[in-house]
Amino acid sequence: MKAARDLRELFSYRELVVVLARREIRARYKYSILGAGWAVALPVALMLLFSVVFARVANFDTGGIPYPVFAYIGLLPWQLHAGMLTGGARSLIDNRALVTKVYFSREVLPLSRALAALFDFAVAAIVLAGLMAWYGLTPGSGVWLVPLVLLVQIAFGVGLAMLVAGANLLYRDVQYVLQVAITIWMFASSVVYPLPREGWLRWLSYVNPITPILDAYRALLLGGRFNAGEFAAAAGISLLTLVAGWLWFRRVEKRFGELA
């Protein structure tokens, strides 16, 4: 079966994924003063900004969770999500020499960008541990399920990354539209404030898979109510997105050489 053969071939390039991810990380931080500290600086700066702004203009019900912790638990996986999408969109363009001259499974490129974004996620997670300790918060009993939530998020992000990688190769406008879309998407998700569960805005929780994923992180890390139904729906959409993204990527792969 061709799909199984393609997956086996992709798996054989797993070491190349790691090599390219390491190269991306080194190139990103090599000539910066803070180095990998920039992976922490952005979510921390946004957390402080939203804490100051929303403390003055709004009084969100965070279920008793200190707002800085609530916001950071949303911003941390959101930065991972945005990193996978923006990195994936440019993964083929930035590696056009490899795409046009060397044969390998092209999925390696968006996957390596996703792995690089996961590195930033791991570094920035250290701050979350510090924040929870500062406010005297202990992980909930379901914390062991956090890797499953992360796996679902990665599936969703990688699927979208493959979609936008191929689309950006066909239409270079995609990378610019994506920047705007990610910003709008953040404010349509439960990143820095809880979305309403009643009224006409409640539909955002059902059509936006990232919201149940963010809610799952908060529930499992802080001992809140884990909505298994919403998360299962988000997991199903994530799996479908991964499959659709991969099939789209394979479909346009034969044109990569001429378009890059």
Q: What tens digit of pLDDT does each residue of 57-102 get?
A: 767 777 788 999 999 999 999 999 999 999 999 888 888 878 777 7
Sequence-ordered alpha helix ranges (H) in the chain: 2-12, 14-29, 38-57, 67-94, 96-101, 108-134, 146-170, 174-187, 204-207, 210-222, 228-252, 256-259
One-character DSSP codes across 18-67: HHHHHHHHHHHHTT-SSGGGHHHHHHHHHHHHHHHHHHHH-----TT--H
pLDDT at residue 199, rounded to an integer:
63
Six-digit token string for 73: 């638990």
> Does the pLDDT at position 103 exceed 90?
no
On the question of pLDDT at 254 being above 90, the answer is: no
- The better pLDDT of the pair 2, 227 is held by 227
Region of poorest pLDDT, from 149-153, 159-163, 176-180, 204-208: 204-208
Quick one: 52 exposed, middle or buried, by C-beta within 10 A (0-12, 13-18, 19+)? exposed
- Residue 260 pLDDT > 60, yes or no? no
Q: What does the pLDDT read at residue 77?
A: 97
pLDDT of residue 55: 65
- Mean per-residue pLDDT for 200-212? 76
**Radius of gyration for the alpha carbons in the chain, expressed in angstroms and rounded:** 19
119-150 b/e with 16+ CB inside 10 Å = b? bbbebbbebbeebbeeeeeeebebeebeeebb
The pLDDT tens digits for 41-54 are 889 999 998 888 87
